[in-house]
Amino acid sequence: MTEELVQLVDDDGTPLGTAPKATVHTEHTPLHLAFSCHVFGPDGRVLVTRRALSKRTWPGVWSNAFCGHPAPGEAFDDAIRRRAQQELGLSIASIEPVLPDFRYRAVDASGIVEFEVCPVFRAVASADPAPNPDEVSEWAWSDVGDFRSAVAAAPYAFSPWLVMQLDALAAQGR
């Protein structure tokens, strides 16, 4: 198996090089390129996942369907499809950007930093996920309004990037 690399970027998103994913998330994480994807079912419900307890950052918190890092030279759509399969065993369609300029920095309880230029996408799936247990411990389809209410009531139970994304989407009237 080939070592997974992340793309390091400057404040403007200009590529600076690469680093091994296994070494980049530390207390001094450099700014790098990522993506986040919200998956909807044909009935309009949104897929929410609980991060596996073995995850290095934010273990056990609930979040959007999945996130990932495009490989150097990999198009976002290709990376999103790849990660949907790897993490959730899902085929997805209708990928579209919803927050193309999203970026964030967050520090988890262990001191590990996430620092990402992280465009946010939405996609559609027509089947239930079959998640990789190293990535996802639980999942559920949720009514969007109920999901937003849960996040607003208990933001500490959700990933910080999800909370920020929902705030940004609400500010856009989405």
- Give per-residue pLDDT as tens, 9-46: 999 999 999 999 989 999 999 999 999 999 999 999 99
Binding site members for Mn(2+)? 25, 32, 69, 114, 116
Token pair listed for 62: 């609930």
Q: What does pLDDT average to over the chain? A: 96
pLDDT score at 56: 87
As annotated, the active-site residues are 67, 116
pLDDT score at 93: 97
Binding site members? 25, 32, 69, 87, 114, 116
Check if the beta carbon of residue 54 is closer than 8 Å to that of residue 141: no
- pLDDT over threshold 80, residue 62: yes
User: Tokens 């193309």 correspond to what residue?
Assistant: 100
Check if the beta carbon of residue 50 is closer than 8 Å to that of residue 56: no
pLDDT score at 98: 98
Binding site members for Mg(2+)? 87
